[in-house]
């Protein structure tokens, strides 16, 4: 037997027993006469003692032992001498006196060790991921991830969901994100696509009568990465029949309540708050607002229209918007130079023309280099509307609706973090609903589906499809946690007539729609029940429940920003023979450029 116990479970109750432990050497403390070894596994650490009374076998075998060796120790559990307890570890009241020590495997001098204080650079961590994953924070995250997924599955099972696996090799549907393509050997020149989501399969499952479907589904999107975005990620994918949006939201409300209780021991009040997309954009400039703090956008366009300040006047007169936010006590953090930084930020990242700002003086008046362009009453009106207090910093963007939303969202996010307007440990759950059906693409002058082309419009907005598609709102809902989109879903179109109309608006004629989604259109005609669903980003949920800022730390083997795996060195070149079998010829590589 290689071990009788783990390194985290021995305590005073085991004193006197002879046990066998196996694990990694976390640290060796050499005192000449004796040695202390902290033996580690994922359950904890146990102190192993070798002293002059230990058998020669152990004395000899321990000689070459260094960090991260894998060893096995047989010995007697002993109470530690008085005053020598270590309260930092679960086994701190006992230690193991060695009777036999075996090196199960040596370890090269590692580039870094799991208990090291300063984390190595990310590329090194990813290259030696097996070492990085030995770190306690990584192990805790992966354990929590496992618990979260189990809680999700338990909840779904309790609610009669059926777990169904859908294919990884599917069909390319060029709408939306770029597909990862897989060449077919049997059909040279043809390709499978990895699923961006199991969307169509799960709808087909509804038509097939499996009224509650769930899957922990791996999804793939060949787009650029972010701190919260990986090219391959995991969704809790769900679909339900005979439901409306409230039913789906209610189901997820219950799941979040269970997760919060099971995982974080937080009691969530249900129903979770909801706001419409319009409201979110107006108040926060974004469809996933962070509601852990206030600081809402204030519209000043009407005041701006009255002023002599040409920048504001011209923007207001041309139908654009003058909107701002007020950073509480913002002057403490943002000096003139800090404001210059914010100005650069909104210009470079969001294309804003500039940033107008005012300091709120002790007497409550607004002051700034541009203040002379305003009447005192106008400044007072701005201050009143923004509820500006002495010490605050008022920031105003005069631009199109879109730019003011983006820039103010960016500013709000920054000041929230930099002025510490919220406790980063708090959790905030909410819904954003009634997304627009379509976005207008000004370049191609056409409508694009905001969610996906199977999204059902609100019943009340059906008429807009014919008259003013931009006004049509969807039966869509996003779950927002701490300013992140943690999931999103819609009620689907089950009526083929409406589906055809939507395809038409998206520029897909009957022929093109049949070509791309024919199988779904066919299926919809064979008794499709009303249905809808949602997909939760599991990696993001894990990130948020762990209070992490980086999704790579929630995934065992993540990719770098350039979508490579530094450990496996993927992607890689393949054998010419493989390409030949696939009928593929490489005509251009990165090296050509």
The answer for residues whose C-beta is within 8 angstroms of residue 336's C-beta and 6 or more apart is: none
Q: Which two tokens stand for residue 586?
A: 């490489």
Task: Single out the residue of 183, 184, 177 nearest to residue 233, CA to CA.
Answer: 177
Q: How far is the CB of 355 from RNA (least distance, A)?
A: 16
Q: How far is CA 200 from the centre of its chain?
A: 23
Nearer to RNA, 197 or 241 (CB): 197
Which of 275/474 has CB closer to RNA? 474
Q: Minimum distance between the CB of residue 511 and RNA, rounded to whole angstroms?
A: 19
Measured from the CB of residue 552, what is the shortest distance to RNA in angstroms? 6
CB within 8 Å of 147: residues ≥ 6 apart: 262, 263
Q: How far is the CB of 304 from RNA (least distance, A)?
A: 24
Burial of 494 (0-12, 13-18, 19+ CB in 10 A): buried
Shortest gap between Cβ of 559 and RNA (angstroms)?
Answer: 7
Compare residues 23 and 453 and give the one whose CB is closer to RNA. 453
Nearest to 270 by CA among 261, 283, 262, 281: 261
CA distance 227 to 260: 23
Q: Are 415 and 327 in contact (CB under 8 A)?
A: yes
What DSSP character marks residue 565?
A: B
Q: Quote the least distance from Cβ 326 to RNA, whole Å.
A: 22
CB atoms within 10 A of CB 429: 23
Is the CB of 122 or the CB of 211 nearer to RNA?
A: 122
Query: Among residues 407, 399, 390, 295, which one has the least CA distance to residue 347?
Result: 407
CB-wise, 360 or 520, nearer to RNA? 520
Cβ proximity of 96 and 77 under 8 Å: yes
**Residue (of 555, 556, 541, 553) closest to 263 by Cα position:** 541
The rounded distance, in Å, linking the Cα atoms of 184 and 190 is 6
CB 376, min distance to RNA, A: 37
CB of 429 to RNA, least distance (A): 21
Q: Which CB, 24 or 155, lies closer to RNA? A: 24
Structure tokens at 391: 């010490």
Which 3-state string (H, E, C) describes 80-108?
Answer: CCCCCCCCCCCCCCEEEEEEEEEEEECCC
CB-based contact 94:80 (threshold 8 Å):
yes
Specify the residue, 341 or 581, whose C-beta has the smaller distance to RNA.
Answer: 341
Considering the complex, what minimum distance in angstroms separates the CB of residue 571 from RNA? 11
Closer by beta carbon to RNA, 259 or else 554: 554
- Residue 108 or 372: the one with the smaller Cβ distance to RNA is 108
Cβ of 93: how many Cβ atoms within 10 Å?
16
Query: Rounded distance, CA 549 to CA 540, Å?
Result: 9
Q: Least distance in Å: CB of 78 to RNA?
A: 8
For the record, the structure tokens of 578 come out as 């493989």
Q: How far is the CB of 33 from RNA (least distance, A)?
A: 3
Residue with smaller CB distance to RNA, 349 or 466? 349
Cβ closer to RNA: 220 or 309?
Answer: 220
CB of 349 to RNA, least distance (A): 4
What are the C-alpha distances in Å from 156 to residues 159, 175, 269, 339, 441?
5, 30, 20, 49, 38
- Which residue in the block uniquely carries the two structure tokens 């509480």? 328
Taking alpha carbons only, the member of 147, 126, 194 closest to residue 565 is 126
CB 543 within 8 A of CB 228: yes
- Asked if 392 contacts 329 with a C-beta cutoff of 8 angstroms, the reply is yes
Which of 29/150 has CB closer to RNA?
29
Greatest CA separation found in the chain? Answer: 93
Helices (H), 122-198: 122-127, 129-132, 136-158
Q: Please state, in angstroms and as integers, the Cα–Cα distance from residue 259 to each residue in 255, 270, 488, following that order.
A: 6, 13, 17
Residue 122: closest CA among 540, 569, 552: 552
β-pairing verdict for 70-79 and 18-30: antiparallel
Q: Which is nearer to RNA, 43 or 112 (CB)?
A: 112
Distance CA 452, CA 437 (A): 9
Q: Which is nearer to RNA, 5 or 40 (CB)?
A: 40
Least distance from RNA to the Cβ atom of residue 394, Å: 23
Smallest distance, Å, CB 31 to RNA? Answer: 4
> Taking the complex as a whole, how short is the minimal distance between the CB of residue 381 and RNA, in angstroms?
32
Closer CB to RNA, residue 300 or residue 472? 472
């Amino acid at each position: 037997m290689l071990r009788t116990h783990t390194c985290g479970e021995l305590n005073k109750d085991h004193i006197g027993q002879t046990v066998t432990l196996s694990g990694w050497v976390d640290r060796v403390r050499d005192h000449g006469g004796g040695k202390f070894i902290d033996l580690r596994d994922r359950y904890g650490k146990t102190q192993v003692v070798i002293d002059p009374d230990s058998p020669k076998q152990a004395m000899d075998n321990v000689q070459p032992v260094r960090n991260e060796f894998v060893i096995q120790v047989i010995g007697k559990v002993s109470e530690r001498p008085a005053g020598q307890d270590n309260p930092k570890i679960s086994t701190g009241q006992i230690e193991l006196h060695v009777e036999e020590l075996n090196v199960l495997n040596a370890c090269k001098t590692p580039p870094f060790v799991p208990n090291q204080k300063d984390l190595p650079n990310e590329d090194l961590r990813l290259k030696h991921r097996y070492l990085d994953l030995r770190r306690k924070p990584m192990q805790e995250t992966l354990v929590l991830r496992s618990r979260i997924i189990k809680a999700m599955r338990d909840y779904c099972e309790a609610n009669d969901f059926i777990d169904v696996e859908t294919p990884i090799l599917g069909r390319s549907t060029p709408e939306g994100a770029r597909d990862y393509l897989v060449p077919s050997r049997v059909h040279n020149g043809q390709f499978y696509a990895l699923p961006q989501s199991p969307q169509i399969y799960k709808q087909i499952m509804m038509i097939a009568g499996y009224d509650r479907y769930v899957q922990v589904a791996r999804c793939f999107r060949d787009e650029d990465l972010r701190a919260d975005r990986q090219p391959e990620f995991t969704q809790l994918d769900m679909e339900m029949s005979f439901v409306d949006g409230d039913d789906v939201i209610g189901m997820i409300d219950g799941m979040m309540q269970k997760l919060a209780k099971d995982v974080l021991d937080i009691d969530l009040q249900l129903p979770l708050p909801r706001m419409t997309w319009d409201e979110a954009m107006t108040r926060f400039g974004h469809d996933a607002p962070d509601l852990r703090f206030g600081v809402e956008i204030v519209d000043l366009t009407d005041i701006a229209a009255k002023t002599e300040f040409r920048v504001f006047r011209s923007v207001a007169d041309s139908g654009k918007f003058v909107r701002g936010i007020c950073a509480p006590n913002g002057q403490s953090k943002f000096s003139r130079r800090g404001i210059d930084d914010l100005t650069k930020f909104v210009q470079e990242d969001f294309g804003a023309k500039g940033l107008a700002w005012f300091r709120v003086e002790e007497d409550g008046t607004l002051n700034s280099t541009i203040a002379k362009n305003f009447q005192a009453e106008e400044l007072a009106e701005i201050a009143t509307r923004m509820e500006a207090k002495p010490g605050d910093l008022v920031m105003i963007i005069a631009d199109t609706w879109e730019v003011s939303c983006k820039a103010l969202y960016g500013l709000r996010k920054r000041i929230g973090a930099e002025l510490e307007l919220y406790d980063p440990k708090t959790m905030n759950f909410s819904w954003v609903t009634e997304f627009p059906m379509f976005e207008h693409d000004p370049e191609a002058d056409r409508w694009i589906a905001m969610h996906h082309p199977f999204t059902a419009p609100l019943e009340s907005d059906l008429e807009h499809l014919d008259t003013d598609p931009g006004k049509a709102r969807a039966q869509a809902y996003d779950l927002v946690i701490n300013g992140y989109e943690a999931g999103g879903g819609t009620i689907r179109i089950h009526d083929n007539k409406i589906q055809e109309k939507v395809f038409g608006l998206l520029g897909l004629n009957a022929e093109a729609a049949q070509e791309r989604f024919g199988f779904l259109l066919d299926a919809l005609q064979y008794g499709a029940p009303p249905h809808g669903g949602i997909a939760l980003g599991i990696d993001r949920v894990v990130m948020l429940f762990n209070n992490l800022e980086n999704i790579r730390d929630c995934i065992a083997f993540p990719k770098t920003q350039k979508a490579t795996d530094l450990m496996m060195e993927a992607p890689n070149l393949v054998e010419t023979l493989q390409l030949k079998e696939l009928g593929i010829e490489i005509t251009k590589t990165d090296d050509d450029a």
